[in-house]
Amino acid sequence: MLIATKSISGFAQDYLGAESNQNNVQGCIHPSFPLLIDNHATDSLNAGIMNVLSNGDISLDDNVFIAIEKGNINASSATYIQNQGEFKDIKNGSIYHSQNYFKFLNGSLNKQSSAIKLSDGESFLRERNLHIKYQSLEGKLDDSLEFRDASLSSCNDTSSGWRIEAEAINISEVTSRGHIEDLRLKILDKTVLRLPYLPFPATTKRLSGFLEPELNFTSDGLDLFLPYFWVLSKQSDITLAPRILKKRGSGLEVNYRYLSNNNTASKNYLDLLFFPEDKEFRKDYGANNNDRWAFRFKEKRTISNFTTSIDWAKSSDSMVLLDLPSSITNIANQRDHYLTQSISIGMVLDRLSFNIMREGHQSLNPFINSTYVKKPEVQIQYIQHASNLSYFIKTDFSNFEIDETKYSFIDNNLSGKGGERFVAEVGGEILHSLKHVDVSIFGTVLHKKYNLDVANTNSLSSSIPSIKIKISSLFRKLSESDISLISPEFVYQKTNFKDQSMNPIFDLHQRNIGNFNTSNTQYFFGKDRIPDSEFLIGKLKWQKRLKNNERFNIELIKKNELKTSRVINEMLISPIGKDNQIGTNLSFEKKNLKTYISANYSQKRNTLNYGNAGLEISLPETNLMLSRSFQKNIPLLNSTNEIDYAEISIEHLMSQGYKLIGGITKDLNAKKNLESYFGISFENCCLAFKVYASDKRLSKYNFLNFQSSQLSNMTWENMISVENKSRINFEFELKGLTGGNKRINSFFSNAFMNL
């Protein structure tokens, strides 16, 4: 098979994960083969002794130097055949050509055809940092080379790395490919593999061919990927990965990536997972059709003033991405609740923008088999900015339909009706600057109107005014070594109460993380529930930045709620009253240390109801990351209204290139480990491997024993058990030989690591 490389030159390197050139790694370059600057004319010819023979040939002895196209020859002696343009009987020679070295005891080279024939030598191919020793070498420079009775390695010391001993090594500079015949692979001086034939890439550029296999041992048995990488163009490629999973069968995964508009920011892809005849599917879910599949197509394109966007994902059932997690495709995380199905087209003309979209979702919760879909949603917005006065007009029309999906295993018999919703919002802001104070008055009126698909129901409408007054200032202190900023701020905000209890809820729940949100556009329940509120907020923020890039930020916040929100309490079983809160945001950053702390204290409840903290330490031998996030009293989150998570990960460099890696995510509220990994890796200039075990704690649904359609708490507990998705993962790289297709292991979502 052909080992390919996904390292990319000039094709969205950040997007497609190009690796830096391996030759640039400090200490990995062979000291015997330095990079030279050749500026000699191609007709230069020098030697200590030069004799013209009777047949017209020239005998060269003592410090022979011969300039050739793209390089030169150095030797102790040689004979120049003038009428053929060939140098023969080159003794103790070295050829430097296109930054590559060829050292040898005897050889010849034709300047016109670039044909070479060398014996008893060694070569260094700089691009892939490969060192080849050989008995004989024949071929053409800039074309193809054949090394016989050769050994190949990228290691300065092969006894602590790898080398290949082979009957023949062939390299084509035209196709950038190579192959090895009758080889023995030795690692740490021990033969570990014999093969009659092995292809490999002769370049670090993108090259079609097989990537390194991925081998894992999982709770479903052996999991083997055999990915093939196919370069389609300078702006596109595709990875085809046949997959074998012992307990489930075989399948195929596809990752197609491309750029649009010659813009590296347009990260477009199509991911596909297909597993026909999943052997465990019938056992777990009693399914008649055992085909499992999922795909996601994501694209963003800009043409003149128009922008199109597609994010469309779909799966055969709600459990496929939980059962068949993948490192090749990126359709959804195992903890995602739904797949997005949206398509939109927008236009921007100066201050006016227009957008029309279709938006829906496929639930990944097997107990939910119906959702709303917007068909269509039309948004029109006009914004006028000026120095002292700005205003906007926004309209949003949405038609909601019930999307009765076919991807759930249980029929909930959900009944509901769709309808139309029209939202218009008009607002303006007046800015006035005094000597040291800026005053902002921001007011909006939001009007909602519903026409529901329910017989004998009149249209519902309401208008909700809101006002926000902000008084702020900024004080600066500059010096040669630092800059300090102090920003005091005072905010008063009020949103009037309107009874919205008869309005349907079409949109998804958006959590008000932090409890200090003051943005009027962050709706409590989409646009269908806008809470009434009246509060005062005082802020004091201090920022300091030093010339060595050290940063300090401290923010103190005090919020006094002046009334209880009737809209929120109407939706709660246990109403909550108005509260006074104190909060702080602290962050510190220097070369080897980053940390932040956010907290919110409820005076009424006499408790911290929000906290978020993180620490990242980067030392020469150790990288450590810690984070903790918790929140209490979150309306409609769960029965306890509380979340509490912690994460820790560590990488510790040990002696002789070994590294210890590990991490864990824990639900402190439930006292359960959610995800963890632990392992060891090794890397030097020519060899790298990683072995680690990973584990995810996920929900498993017992549908075969489910009888009742009434989802009581007891029934729910009986239906759900906990399943550990465990894996033992292997990653291996022979630097210079294999393609360096390094995957980024996303052990955690790192949702709380916002350094």
- Find out whether 284 and 703 touch, Cβ atoms under 8 Å: yes
Residue tagged 């196709």 (tokens): 175
Give Cα separations from 56 to 45, 59, 73, 322, 409 (angstroms).
Answer: 16, 10, 21, 80, 91
Question: Does residue 752 register a pLDDT over 50?
Answer: no
Q: In sequence order, what DSSP letters do the residues of 493-535 get, joined into one string?
A: EEE-----TTS---SPP---TTS----TT--TBTTTB---EEE
Sign, CA dihedral 505-507-508-510, equals negative
| DSSP output for 678-699 | EEEEEE-SSEEEEEEEEEEEEE
- Mean pLDDT value across residues 234-263: 87
Q: Specify the pLDDT at position 38.
A: 66
Which of 271, 223, 227, 273 has its CA nearest to residue 248? 223
Q: Which of 286-290, 483-487, 637-641 has the lowest mean pLDDT?
A: 637-641
d(CA 406, CA 315) in angstroms, rounded, equals 10
Helix, strand, coil percent content, the chain, rounded in steps of 5: 5, 60, 35
pLDDT tens digits, residue range 310-362? Answer: 999 999 988 888 888 887 888 887 667 788 899 999 999 989 999 999 998 88
CA distance 171 to 153: 14
User: Which pTM value belongs to this model?
Assistant: 0.74
The tokens for 84 are 């053929």
**What residues are paired with 101 via a beta bridge?**
96, 124
Higher pLDDT, 153 or 260: 153
Domain locations in the chain? 20-203, 640-755
Q: What is the pLDDT of residues 479-512, one digit of tens each?
A: 888 899 999 999 999 999 999 988 888 875 444 4
More confident of the two residues 713 and 323: 323
* pLDDT for the residue numbered 633: 61
By the 10 Å C-beta count (0-12 exposed, 13-18 middle, 19+ buried), 193 is classed as exposed
Look up tokens 């009874």; give the residue: 499
**Torsion from C-alpha of 570, 572, 575, 578, nearest 10 degrees:** -80
End-to-end CA distance of the chain: 43
